[in-house]
């Protein structure tokens, strides 16, 4: 039994050895094959390397050629740039030359201008001097004129004007008149307003400064006065303002001028401030804003006043309506004319006397009314 | 002989004492009575001012009727004026006879003069604060405004010294009414706020005439480009805008200074060219404006109903009116960023009387004038502004303003724009110091301009001599030198600061008393010596 096992083992070992030998033989063959393949491969690689090396060498050569070409181009470009720069430099030099020439020309021109300016200034200075002399002469002439005017004004102030001269005198110039008081508006704050007239025409002295004592004298109708003042116009009313006065000997009461037919005509203004009469005027209705009621007269122009205020009433003359006034400072509440107007009725026919005051047109201040 | 000498010496001692008592009484003010007697008849006299405007008269009458209905035992008798100056003069006249009215429309300047008589005008402080009869008090029978409902700036204007002596009644300022068409025709556009330079430049430009003397801008022979109604206000406003001296609060006169001189020189040049004139020299600015003969017219906002070609009030013939667009602007300024314009308009004061029921009734009537109905009623007659915030903010008043231009009467656009102008610029308004004589100083300020323009028109030369003469004449005319002196000695009477110097009587007394004692001593010595000689 034991030998059987041993035999089997030996057989097995032999078998394994055979197998191993067989295997080694195969391996050796494979190794030989592999070595051959390696060699083949090596040959291939060698060929490839050779080819690549050849290609690389070719590329290097090409690159060298390129670089050479670029270098040559760069050299050309540089040459061109240098040439251009040289050209520009030449141009610049030319430009600078031109500029220098121009500047030199300008400077020369300026010098010439300066010379001209100097000449002109000198001429202007001469001219100015001449003008100044002329102006000075003119001023002297003006001064002489002023002095003459002042002298004339002084003469005017000292010389009594006729009514015609007074009418012709400019506004804002001194005037001197002698006339007779016809009426006055009450003395107030040391001043009085006088309606004055002489045989040739009328005047109005506005706010003549005077004492209360003198006011009483001036208030006497007919009193002769000399008035020195300035001619002025206020809302169309020509008057003497900033005046002084001297009471003189003499007396004159003017007769009222009938101006009925002059209403609505330009000639009416020639009678400004005169004592006037208006005949056969018809009392027309006055109205108050917002009321239908008709009034023969109003206290104040719009009816806002009370007894004692100025009276306003309308009259028809020649088909036209005009507004007349009872000026309360001329004829107060207690006067006959004031009461008479308060008693008027629309449609009454009346004769009136008064003074032809002016306020943006004729605005007679009435001193008497007679109902026909 | 001895007795006679003693008597003379005694007389010397007593006379100054008597003199110092004369003419001055100690102020006792006014004590509010503890009740209002509504049974005993009370009659009060009310002196009122209207702008020759019957609508204003109607509001006064309505106020009286309304008040008398609430207080049947009180009768209010009204006396109408159209001129503050006349009221002032009449009050002064009546103070001496103790016949002043009970209630009076006035200006604080005038009250300062009334106060020279002790207790002439009732101080209103206690009346205002009284819980029963004060402003909006529990026993007031109508809806009166409370103190805080009165525009503070306007109430402040009624304070003189330490007391309130009046209630504001209406307020206005000045407005510049412009013919905008002519300004454009001259090649200019109106700025939002006009400067003095602009108005002078355009005014001079408007003076160009053709060979026939016709003005190019209006095609007429008359053109006064710029007319100022109140030259008092013109000078005051210009000085205020330039922050230049005018007067101190206690009445020292400072108006005659270099700035005034420069202002006058400028005005002179435009007076000379006739580009500028005044109401005093030419007439109402509105008349020229409406006739197309003026471009810039400065007048009160309370005269707005007369301004513009569609104005409801007209003082020239209709055919003379030239149509144009009216622009309402603040007055010209030196510094448009900080505009300044005057606050003006009537206030109302109560005169002190022996019968305290009369004074109380008067005070109640004054309060009635501050009710919404009266405030709005009167304000809407012109370009006035109600003095109470209660009225200004009321729905009715706001509705009135919103209807601007609906018609040319009640809602005349220029009138409402004038009211809006003051409402917008209330915080920019000012008043001048009030003292005894401040009214004269106001007049003098205007006279400086009037005389300068007259001088220019009369070809007088403008130079230092002209100015010196002008200052001297105006100072003398309005006695400003005396006011300046009085300001230092009578501040207490004027309701302003106390006097810094002793009254003349006191000075005399201080000199005389020691002299008398010296004389007595000398006499004693002489007598003794004489006795010794005899012995």
**DSSP alpha helices (H): ranges in B84-124?**
84-96, 108-114
| Subunit contact A302:B54, Cβ cutoff 8 A | yes
B452 class by beta-carbon count within 10 Å (0-12 exposed, 13-18 middle, 19+ buried): buried
Q: B287 at the A interface (CB within 8 A)?
A: yes
A79 class by beta-carbon count within 10 Å (0-12 exposed, 13-18 middle, 19+ buried): exposed
| Subunit contact B54:A149, Cβ cutoff 8 A | no
Q: A321 at the B interface (CB within 8 A)?
A: no
Token digits of residue A333 = 């509440």
Cα–Cα distance for residue pair A66/B124, rounded to 1 Å = 116
Cα–Cα distance for residue pair B481/B252, rounded to 1 Å = 9
Q: A172 at the B interface (CB within 8 A)?
A: yes
Give me Rg for the CA atoms of chain A.
66
pTM summary value: 0.75
pLDDT tens digit string along B222-253?
A: 999 999 999 999 999 999 999 999 999 989 99
Question: Which has the closest alpha carbon to B177: B361, B301, B68?
Answer: B301
| Buried residues in B77-104 as b, exposed as e (16+ CB within 10 A) | ebebbbebeebbebbeebbeeeebbbbb
Contact B209, B399 (CB under 8 A): no
Cα–Cα–Cα angle for B79, B58, B41, rounded to 5 degrees: 55
Q: How many CA atoms lie within 13 A of B438 on its CB side?
A: 27
| Subunit contact B54:A173, Cβ cutoff 8 A | no
Contact B178, B296 (CB under 8 A): yes
Nearest CB to B282: which of A234, A300, A303?
Answer: A234
Instruction: Report in angstroms the alpha-carbon separations of B337 from A20, B332, B430, B510.
Output: 123, 12, 16, 55
- How confident is the model at residue B499, as a pLDDT? 32
Cα–Cα distance for residue pair A357/A364, rounded to 1 Å = 5
Q: A170 at the B interface (CB within 8 A)?
A: no
Nearest CB to B315: which of A146, A300, A360?
Answer: A360
Nearest CB to B283: which of A235, A289, A306?
Answer: A235
Indicate the pairing of strand A275-284 with strand A365-371: unpaired
**DSSP alpha helices (H): ranges in B151-277?**
152-156, 180-185, 196-205, 231-241, 258-272
| Subunit contact B53:A302, Cβ cutoff 8 A | yes
Contact B29, B126 (CB under 8 A): yes
Indicate the pairing of strand B341-342 with strand B429-430: parallel
- How confident is the model at residue A71, as a pLDDT? 79
Rounded to a whole number, what is the distance in angstroms from the first to the last CA of chain A? 198
Shortest Cα–Cα distance, A317 to chain B (Å): 18
Q: Which of A190, A229, A235, A358 to mutate to probe the B interface, most B CBs <10 Å?
A: A235
Token digits of residue B182 = 């002519």
Q: A329 at the B interface (CB within 8 A)?
A: no
Question: Which has the closest alpha carbon to B445: B154, B159, B236, B148?
Answer: B236
Indicate the pairing of strand A237-251 with strand A223-234: antiparallel
HEC readout, B369-391: CCCHHHHHHHHCCCCCEECEHHH
Q: A173 at the B interface (CB within 8 A)?
A: yes
What values do phi and psi take at A296, rounded to 5? -80, -25
Q: Which residues fall within 8 angstroms of residue A24, CB to CB, at 6 or more apart? A: none
Cα–Cα distance for residue pair B392/A215, rounded to 1 Å = 49
Cα–Cα distance for residue pair B514/B520, rounded to 1 Å = 10
Question: What is the DSSP annotation of B343-364?
Answer: -B--EEEEB--S-HHHHHHHHH
Query: Would the CATH topology of A163-251 be identical to that of A257-371?
Result: yes
Q: What are the sequence ranges of the domains in chain A?
A: 102-152, 163-251, 257-371
Cα–Cα–Cα angle for B250, B254, B259, rounded to 5 degrees: 145
E-assigned strands of B55-106? 74-81, 103-106
Shortest Cα–Cα distance, B400 to chain A (Å): 19
Shortest Cα–Cα distance, B383 to chain A (Å): 18
Report the number of secondary-structure helices (H) and strands (E) in chain B.
20, 16
Cα–Cα distance for residue pair B227/B277, rounded to 1 Å = 5
What values do phi and psi take at B63, rounded to 5? -60, -45
- How confident is the model at residue B518, as a pLDDT? 64
Determine if residue A276 is left, alpha or beta; phi over 0 gives left, psi from -120 to 50 gives alpha, anything else beta: beta
Q: Which residues fall within 8 angstroms of residue B245, CB to CB, at 6 or more apart? A: B239, B254, B255, B257, B259
pLDDT 10s per residue in chain A (372 long)? Answer: 556 777 787 787 787 777 877 776 776 788 788 778 878 887 888 888 788 888 888 888 888 888 888 878 888 887 888 788 888 878 887 888 888 788 878 877 887 887 788 788 878 877 877 788 777 777 667 666 666 666 666 665 668 999 999 999 999 999 999 999 999 998 988 999 999 999 999 999 999 999 999 999 999 999 999 999 999 999 999 999 999 999 999 999 999 999 999 999 999 999 999 999 999 999 999 998 878 899 999 999 889 888 999 999 999 999 999 999 999 999 999 999 999 999 999 999 999 999 999 999 999 999 999 999
Q: A149 at the B interface (CB within 8 A)?
A: yes
Q: Which residues fall within 8 angstroms of residue B51, CB to CB, at 6 or more apart? A: B82, B302, B303, B382
Contact A347, A320 (CB under 8 A): no
Determine if residue A273 is left, alpha or beta; phi over 0 gives left, psi from -120 to 50 gives alpha, anything else beta: left
B50 contacts in chain A (CB < 8 Å): 304
| Subunit contact A234:B50, Cβ cutoff 8 A | no
Q: B32 at the A interface (CB within 8 A)?
A: no
Tokens 């604060």 correspond to what residue?
A: B129
SS3 for A354?
A: strand
- How confident is the model at residue A45, as a pLDDT? 80
B316 contacts in chain A (CB < 8 Å): 360
What single DSSP character describes residue B319? G
A206 contacts in chain B (CB < 8 Å): none
Residue B491: CB atoms within 10 Å? 21
Domain A257-371 CATH class label: mainly beta
Shortest Cα–Cα distance, A225 to chain B (Å): 24
Residue B434: CB atoms within 10 Å? 28
What values do phi and psi take at B502, rounded to 5? -70, 150
Nearest CB to A304: which of B52, B79, B89?
Answer: B52
Please, what's the largest Cα pairwise distance for chain B? 110
- How confident is the model at residue A236, as a pLDDT? 94
| Subunit contact B80:A189, Cβ cutoff 8 A | no
Question: What is the DSSP annotation of B458-527?
Answer: TT---SHHHHHHHHHHHHHHTTHHHHHHHHHH-TTTTTSSPPSS--HHHHHHHHHHHHHHHHHHHHHHHH
Complex ipTM, two decimals? 0.78
CATH of domain A163-251: 2.40.50.140
**DSSP alpha helices (H): ranges in chain A?**
2-158, 163-168, 212-218, 336-342
Cα–Cα distance for residue pair B305/B195, rounded to 1 Å = 25
Determine if residue A356 is left, alpha or beta; phi over 0 gives left, psi from -120 to 50 gives alpha, anything else beta: beta
Shortest Cα–Cα distance, A303 to chain B (Å): 6
**What length does chain A have?**
372
pLDDT 10s per residue in chain B (535 long)? Answer: 444 444 444 444 443 333 333 333 445 578 899 899 999 999 999 999 988 888 999 999 999 999 999 999 999 999 999 888 889 999 999 998 889 999 999 988 899 899 887 789 999 999 999 999 999 999 999 999 999 999 999 999 999 989 999 999 999 999 999 999 999 999 999 999 999 999 999 999 999 999 999 999 999 999 999 999 999 999 999 999 999 999 999 899 999 999 999 999 999 999 999 999 999 999 999 999 999 999 999 999 999 999 999 999 998 989 999 999 999 999 999 999 999 999 999 999 999 999 999 999 999 999 999 999 999 999 999 999 999 999 999 999 999 999 999 999 999 999 999 999 999 999 999 999 999 899 999 999 999 999 999 999 999 999 999 999 999 999 999 999 887 666 554 433 333 333 333 334 444 444 554 555 666 566 666 666 655 544 4
Q: A360 at the B interface (CB within 8 A)?
A: yes
């Amino acid at each position: 039994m034991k030998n059987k096992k041993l035999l089997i083992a030996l057989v097995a070992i032999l078998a394994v050895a055979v197998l191993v030998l067989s295997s080694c033989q195969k391996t050796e063959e494979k190794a030989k094959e592999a070595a051959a393949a390696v060699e083949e491969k090596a040959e291939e690689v060698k060929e490839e390397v050779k080819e690549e090396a050849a290609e690389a060498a070719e590329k290097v050569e090409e690159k060298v050629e390129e670089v050479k070409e670029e270098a040559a181009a760069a050299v050309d470009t540089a040459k061109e740039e240098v040439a251009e720069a040289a050209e520009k430099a030449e141009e610049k030099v030319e430009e600078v030359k031109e500029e220098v020439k121009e500047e030199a020309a300008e400077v020369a021109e300026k010098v010439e201008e300066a010379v001209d300016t100097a000449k002109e200034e000198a001429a202007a200075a001469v001219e100015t001097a001449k003008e100044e002399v002329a102006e000075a002469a003119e001023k002297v002439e003006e001064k002489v004129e002023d002095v003459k005017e002042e002298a004339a004004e002084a003469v005017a102030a000292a010389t009594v004007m006729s009514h015609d001269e007074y009418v012709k005198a400019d506004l804002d110039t001194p005037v001197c008149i002698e006339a007779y008081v016809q009426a006055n508006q009450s003395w107030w704050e040391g001043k009085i307003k006088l309606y004055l007239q002489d045989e040739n025409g009328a005047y109005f002295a506005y706010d003549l400064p005077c004492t209360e004592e003198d006011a009483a004298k001036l208030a006497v109708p007919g009193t002769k006065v000399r008035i020195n003042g300035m001619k002025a116009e206020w809302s169309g009313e020509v008057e003497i303002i900033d005046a002084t006065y001297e009471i003189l000997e003499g007396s004159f009461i003017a007769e009222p001028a009938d101006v009925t037919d002059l209403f609505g005509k330009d000639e009416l203004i020639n009678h400004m401030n005169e004592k006037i009469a208006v005949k056969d005027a018809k009392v027309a209705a006055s109205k108050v804003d917002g009321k239908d009621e008709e009034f023969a007269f109003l206290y104040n122009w719009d009816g806002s006043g009370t007894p004692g205020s100025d009276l306003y009433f309308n009259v028809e003359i020649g088909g036209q309506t005009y507004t007349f006034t009872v000026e309360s400072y001329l004829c107060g509440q207690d006067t006959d004319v004031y009461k008479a107007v308060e008693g008027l009725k629309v449609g009454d026919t009346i004769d009136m006397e008064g003074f032809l005051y002016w306020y943006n047109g004729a605005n007679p201040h009435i001193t008497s009314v007679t109902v026909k | 002989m001895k007795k006679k000498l003693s008597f003379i010496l005694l007389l010397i001692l007593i006379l100054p004492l008597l003199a110092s008592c004369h003419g001055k009484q100690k102020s006792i003010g006014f004590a509010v009575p503890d009740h209002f007697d509504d049974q005993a008849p009370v009659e009060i006299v009310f002196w009122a001012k209207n702008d020759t405007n019957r609508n204003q008269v109607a509001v006064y009458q309505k106020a009286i009727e309304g008040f008398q209905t609430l207080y049947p035992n009180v009768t209010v008798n009204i006396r109408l004026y159209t001129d503050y100056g006349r009221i002032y003069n009449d009050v002064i006249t009546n103070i001496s006879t103790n016949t002043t009215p009970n209630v009076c429309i006035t200006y604080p300047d005038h009250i300062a003069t009334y106060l020279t008589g002790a207790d002439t005008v009732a101080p209103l402080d206690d009346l205002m604060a009284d819980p029963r009869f004060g402003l909006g008090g529990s026993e007031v029978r109508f809806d009166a405004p409370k103190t805080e409902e009165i525009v503070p700036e306007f109430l402040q204007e009624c304070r003189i010294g330490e007391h309130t002596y009046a209630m504001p009644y209406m307020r206005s300022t000045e407005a510049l009414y412009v013919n905008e068409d002519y300004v454009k025709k001259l090649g200019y556009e109106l700025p939002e706020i006009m400067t003095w330079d602009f108005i002078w430049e355009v005014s001079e430009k408007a003076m160009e005439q053709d060979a026939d003397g016709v003005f190019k801008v209006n095609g007429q022979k008359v053109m006064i480009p710029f007319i100022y109604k109140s030259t008092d206000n013109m000078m005051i406003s210009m000085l205020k805008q330039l922050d230049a001296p005018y007067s101190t609060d206690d009445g020292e006169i400072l108006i005659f200074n270099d700035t005034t001189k420069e202002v006058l020189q400028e005005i002179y040049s435009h007076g000379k060219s006739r580009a500028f004139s005044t109401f005093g020299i030419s007439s109402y600015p509105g008349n020229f404006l409406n006739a197309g003969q003026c471009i810039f017219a400065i007048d009160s906002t309370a005269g707005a109903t007369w301004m513009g070609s569609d104005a409801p009030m007209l003082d020239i013939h209709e055919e003379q009116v030239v149509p144009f667009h009216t622009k309402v602007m603040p007055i010209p300024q030196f510094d448009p960023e900080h505009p300044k314009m005057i606050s003006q308009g009537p206030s109302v004061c109560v005169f002190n009387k022996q019968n305290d029921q009369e004074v109380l009734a008067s005070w109640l009537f004054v309060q009635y004038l501050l009710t919404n109905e009266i405030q709005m009623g009167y304000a809407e007659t012109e370009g006035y502004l109600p003095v109470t915030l209660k009225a200004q903010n009321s729905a009715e008043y706001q509705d009135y303003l919103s209807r601007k231009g609906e018609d040319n009467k009640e809602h005349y656009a220029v009138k409402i724009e004038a009211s809006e102008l003051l409402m917008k610029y209330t915080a920019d308004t000012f008043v001048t110091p009030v003292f005894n004589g401040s009214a004269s100083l106001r007049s003098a300020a205007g006279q400086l301009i009037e005389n300068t323009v007259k001088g220019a028109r009369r070809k007088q030369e403008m130079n230092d001599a002209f100015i010196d003469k002008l200052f001297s004449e105006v100072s003398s005319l309005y006695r400003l030198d005396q006011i300046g002196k009085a300001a230092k000695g009578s501040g207490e009477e004027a309701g302003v600061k106390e006097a810094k110097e002793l009254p003349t009587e006191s000075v005399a007394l201080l000199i005389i008393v020691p002299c008398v004692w010296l004389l007595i001593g000398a006499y004693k010595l002489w007598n003794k010596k004489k006795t010794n000689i005899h012995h």
